[in-house]
């Protein structure tokens, strides 16, 4: 068993040793300088952030002219130049709207019949536009002002073009790609 005096001597030497270590650390810091930063501790692991996608507002209910324009839309696959293709199909749960798919992108579009007889499929977000005329269709990016796809032909457009080519001069194509005979 150690005597109280021996225990006091051990504690005193430990205190002196720790004081010397603190003195050395303090001596390396210049007066008025900021003390060295404390060692960074690793923060507690956080669960991965959940990416919340914005929810699109509901589409406005389609009425008369829009529903009529939607009925004129050629649904299905279109073969485009440079071996590209685009697909147009009905938007689920939203009568009067169509979805246009190109590669991995899908745009919900509102059909609008123009005064020239062209059918415009207008992106509800304002970026894309698909024009459908009697003999072809094209997909345009309105923000950059360029065609994305051109020379897109649906089977109904192909048939309308063939029918127009087989008619005598003076007969042409009307809205919707149907051939009509001239008044006699």
pLDDT attached to residue 157: 93
Say if residue 133's pLDDT is above 80: yes
Q: What CATH number does the domain containing 161 carry?
A: 2.40.128
Q: How confident is the model at residue 172 (pLDDT cuts 50, 70, 90)?
A: low
Say if residue 181's pLDDT is above 60: no
Select the more confidently predicted residue: 41 or 105: 105
pLDDT attached to residue 183: 43
- pLDDT tens digits for 116-126? 989 999 999 99
Average pLDDT, the chain: 80
This prediction has a pTM of 0.61
Give mean pLDDT, residues 29-55: 67
Domain span at residue 160?
64-166
Q: Is 38 part of any domain? A: no
Q: How many C-beta atoms surround the C-beta of residue 34 within 10 A?
A: 7
Residue environment code for 59-92, b if the CB has 16+ CB neighbours within 10 A, otherwise e: eeebeeebeebbeebbeebbebeeebebebeebe
C-alpha dihedral sign at 69, 169, 156, 81: negative
How far, in Å, CA of 109 to CA of 98, rounded?
Answer: 5
pLDDT attached to residue 112: 96
Tell the residue number behind the tokens 């051990």, with chain if given: 10
Q: Is 137 part of any domain? A: yes
Q: Is 74 part of any domain? A: yes
CB-based contact 109:115 (threshold 8 Å): no
User: How many folded domains does the chain comprise?
Assistant: 1
pLDDT attached to residue 6: 63
pLDDT attached to residue 179: 45
Q: How confident is the model at residue 57 (pLDDT cuts 50, 70, 90)?
A: confident
Q: How confident is the model at residue 140 (pLDDT cuts 50, 70, 90)?
A: very high
């Amino acid at each position: 068993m150690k005597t109280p005096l021996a225990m006091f001597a051990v504690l005193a030497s430990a205190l002196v040793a720790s004081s010397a270590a603190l003195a050395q650390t303090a001596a390396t810091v210049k007066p008025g300088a900021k003390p060295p930063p404390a060692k960074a501790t690793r923060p507690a692991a956080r669960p991965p952030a959940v990416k919340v996608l914005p929810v699109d507002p509901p589409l406005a209910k389609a009425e008369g002219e829009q529903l009529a324009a939607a009925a004129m839309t050629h649904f299905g696959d279109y073969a485009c130049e440079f071996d590209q293709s685009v697909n147009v199909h009905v938007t689920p749960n939203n009568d009067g709207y169509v979805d246009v798919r190109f590669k991995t992108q899908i745009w919900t579009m509102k059909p609008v019949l123009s005064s020239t007889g062209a059918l415009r499929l207008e992106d509800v977000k304002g970026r894309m536009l698909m024009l459908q005329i009697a003999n072809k269709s094209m997909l345009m990016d309105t923000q950059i002002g360029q065609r994305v796809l051109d020379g897109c032909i649906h089977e109904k457009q192909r048939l309308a073009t063939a029918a127009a080519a087989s008619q005598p001069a003076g007969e042409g194509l009307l809205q919707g790609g149907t051939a009509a005979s001239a008044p006699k």
